[in-house]
């Protein structure tokens, strides 16, 4: 049994509400602040951003004792459906039999997580924005505005789960030797919807993650339980084909008709969303340290925001909570040691998944149509199928395992060097399925 602490969590997003469940399970008093109104009470179509939940996310939910409730809200996707221009749709299995990522609506998930945290005894204070933090004393200040009279709260511990533009981190940044960087990519995103058929069924295969790779831009779609698909259009902010260049209905019609002919019937709805929904930016944020003595630590996007091209932001945030929990089990009431080990262990892993996510962005935008790149992937896949003991693909290490992200990055780099050599084999396009190529990979691994 732990010594009960009076704990504040800033942010009732996915990571903050999961942390609230863990801390309540350990018997602490938990108050969660959020500047937004209660998401369970605001009018919400249920069709906001969709997230892919994978192994690391499920592991954390299992440890919190809420996995089954969340599974009911998710749809398994065991393959990609590739909608390449000028070709019929083809499917690529994600992993081994039974391995899948899970499509879940962020809004639906967040509502459920808050319900579960509240049922576990956490108190939620919505529409209370944190303006300042007294780090030494673990005090929080909330109020109407930066200039209004603030209300003061005193706690034993504070967790900053307040997302990429964290106020808690902002305060920590004023310390000497606090490192911080942020990098926006020049691509933005917009949410669009494919409606359900009249009978409520899905218009596309509902056990696939759909991708329309188009070089500089890309559309993806993930199914919802209600028969709709949430699509995300990733596209440069400026340039020939960009959010800026599509200004009129005619331009949007021509764009969807030209590049997405297989969902042509959806154009009027896609177009409506295109002009109605905001265009959002994507950023990688890195910082260190994450903790302040035994008083404060950052979790989730506030510590490490990443671009979404590996589908790991929430998964990584949930894994933070798993690791924190492990450290609490190990060190009991020694919060300084808990925070210190947590940040030391997590930082290289957060940096690794940031790097992998950024690389995937480059790969998806510039390489998916390159025949040599596709051949490389085919060779890797075939070898991994024949020699699962020698080769686990990088995607599987990240998505279907809970081994460290930093290890996945390191092994991925080593596999890339091997594949660079394989691709130098003369006439590899013709010989890639031969025994010689297979043996060459084995020799390279053994060397
Ligand atoms: C397009 C897109 C697709 C994505 N796809 C995936 C995916 O497939 N899989 C995946 O794992 N991840 C994905 N992610 C990432 C995922 O959405 C985030 O990593 C996750 O939501 C982070 O959760 P969080 O709780 O740390 O932060 P947030 O969800 O940002 O929550 C922060 C909370 O803090 C509150 N807050 C902020 N400031 C204050 C303040 N001063 N006072 C009080 N409250 C405050 C906010 O209101 C908010 O409720 C995606 C992200 C994007 C943008």
In whole angstroms, what is the distance from residue 146 CA to residue 125 CA?
A: 18
Q: How far is the CA of 411 from the centre of ligand 1 (A)?
A: 29
The rounded Å distance from CA 163 to ligand 1 centre is 5
Write the CA distances from 447 to 256, 414, 418, 419, integer angstroms: 50, 12, 10, 14
Domain with CATH 3.30.9.30 in the chain: 187-276
Atom 50 of ligand 1 has which residue's CA nearest to it?
308
Neighbouring-strand partners of residue 133? 140
| Per-residue pLDDT at 46 | 47
CA of 252 to the centre of ligand 1 (A): 29
**Ligand 1 near 188 CB (within 6 A):** no
Determine the pLDDT at residue 44: 64
CATH of 187-276, one of 3.40.630.10, 3.30.43.10, 3.30.230.70, 3.30.9.30: 3.30.9.30
The CB of 303 under 6 Å from ligand 1? The reply is no
Residue nearest to atom 44 of ligand 1 (CA): 34
Distances (CA, A) of 431 to 306, 367, 424, 434: 39, 22, 12, 5
Q: Supply the residue whose CA is at minimum distance from atom 4 of ligand 1.
A: 308
Q: How far is the CA of 106 from the centre of ligand 1 (A)?
A: 9
Q: Coil, strand, or helix at residue 334?
A: coil
Residue 131 near residue 269, CB atoms below 8 Å: no
- Ligand 1 center from residue 198 Cα (angstroms): 33
Query: Within 10 Å of residue 245's Cβ, how many Cβ atoms?
Result: 14
pLDDT tens track, the chain, 447 positions: 679 999 999 999 999 999 999 999 999 999 999 999 999 998 765 457 899 999 999 999 999 999 999 999 999 999 999 998 888 999 988 888 889 999 999 999 999 999 999 999 999 999 999 999 999 999 999 999 999 999 999 999 999 999 999 999 999 999 999 999 999 999 999 999 999 999 999 999 999 999 999 988 999 999 999 999 999 999 999 999 999 999 999 999 999 999 999 998 898 889 999 999 999 999 999 999 999 999 999 999 999 999 999 999 999 999 999 999 999 999 999 999 999 999 999 999 999 999 999 999 888 767 766 889 889 999 999 999 999 999 999 999 999 999 999 999 999 999 999 999 999 999 999 999 999 999 999 999 998
Q: Measured from the CB, is residue 191 less than 6 Å from ligand 1?
A: no
Q: Which CATH superfamily is domain 6-44+54-72+106-181+286-360 in?
A: FAD/NAD(P)-binding domain (3.50.50.60)
- Rounded Cα–Cα distance for residues 426 and 440 (Å): 13
Q: How far is CA 395 from the centre of its chain?
A: 14
The pair phi, psi for residue 87, each rounded to 5°, is -130, 155
Residues of the chain with CATH 3.50.50.60: 6-44+54-72+106-181+286-360
- Does 10 sit in the ligand 1 pocket, CB within 6 Å? yes
For ligand 1, the distance from its centroid to the CA atom of residue 213, given in whole angstroms, is 25
Determine the pLDDT at residue 370: 80
Distance CA(157)–CA(135), nearest Å, equals: 10
CA separation for the pair 19, 120 (Å, rounded) = 11
Kindly report the pTM of this predicted structure.
0.97
Distance of CA 144 from the midpoint of ligand 1 (Å): 22
Query: Given ligand 1 and candidates 151, 313, 358, which is best to mutate, with the most ligand atoms within 8 Å of its CB?
Result: 313
**Ligand 1 nearest atom to the CA of residue 54, by list position:** 11
Does the beta carbon of 161 sit less than 6 angstroms from any atom of ligand 1?
yes
> Would you state the pLDDT for residue 1?
62
Task: Please give the pLDDT value at position 363.
Answer: 86
Closest-CA residue to 352 (of 299, 411, 400): 411
Atom 27 in ligand 1: which residue has the minimum CA distance?
163
Atom of ligand 1 nearest to the CA of 316: 11
> Which pLDDT value is given to residue 47?
52
């Amino acid at each position: 049994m732990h010594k009960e602490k009076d704990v504040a969590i800033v942010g009732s997003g996915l990571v903050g509400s999961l942390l609230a469940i863990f801390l309540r399970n350990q018997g602490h008093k938990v108050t969660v602040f959020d500047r937004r109104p209660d998401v369970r009470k605001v009018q919400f179509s249920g069709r906001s951003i969709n997230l892919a939940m994978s192994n690391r996310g499920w592991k954390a939910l299992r440890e919190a004792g809420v996995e089954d409730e969340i599974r009911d809200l998710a749809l398994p996707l065991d393959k990609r459906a590739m909608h390449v221009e000028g070709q019929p749709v083809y499917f690529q299995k994600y992993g081994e039999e039974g391995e899948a990522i899970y499509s879940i609506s962020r809004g639906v998930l967040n509502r459920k997580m808050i319900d579960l945290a509240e049922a576990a005894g956490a108190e939620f204070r919505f529409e209370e924005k944190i303006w300042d933090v007294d780090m030494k004393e673990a005090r929080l200040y909330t109020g109407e505005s930066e200039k209004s009279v603030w209300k003061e709260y005193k706690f034993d511990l504070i967790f900053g789960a307040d997302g990429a533009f964290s106020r808690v981190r902002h305060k920590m940044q004023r310390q000497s030797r606090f490192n911080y960087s942020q990098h926006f990519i020049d691509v933005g995103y917009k949410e669009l919807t494919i409606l359900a058929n009249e009978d409520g069924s899905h218009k596309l295969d509902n056990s696939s993650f759909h991708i329309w790779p188009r070089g500089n831009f890309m559309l993806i779609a993930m199914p919802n339980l209600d028969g709709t698909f949430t699509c995300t259009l990733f596209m440069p902010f400026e340039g020939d084909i960009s959010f800026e260049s599509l200004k009129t209905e005619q331009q949007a019609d021509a764009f969807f008709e030209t590049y997405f002919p297989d969902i042509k019937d959806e154009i009027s709805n896609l177009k409506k969303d295109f002009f109605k929904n905001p265009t959002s930016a994507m950023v990688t944020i890195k910082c260190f340290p994450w903790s302040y003595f035994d008083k404060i630590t950052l979790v989730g996007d506030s510590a490490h925001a990443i671009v979404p091209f590996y589908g790991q932001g929430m998964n990584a945030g949930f894994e933070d909570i798993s690791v924190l929990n492990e450290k609490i089990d190990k060190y009991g009431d020694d919060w300084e040691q808990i925070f210190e080990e947590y940040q030391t262990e997590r930082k290289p892993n957060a940096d690794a998944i940031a790097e992998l996510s950024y690389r995937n962005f480059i790969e998806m935008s510039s390489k998916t149509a390159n025949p040599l790149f596709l051949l490389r992937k085919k060779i890797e896949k075939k070898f991994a199928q024949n020699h699962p003991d020698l080769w686990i693909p990088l995607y599987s290490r990240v998505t279907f395992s809970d081994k460290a992200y930093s290890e996945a990055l390191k092994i991925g780099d080593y596999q890339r060097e091997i594949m660079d050599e394989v691709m130098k084999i003369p006439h590899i396009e013709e010989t890639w399925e031969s025994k010689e190529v297979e043996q060459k990979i084995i020799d390279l691994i053994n060397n």
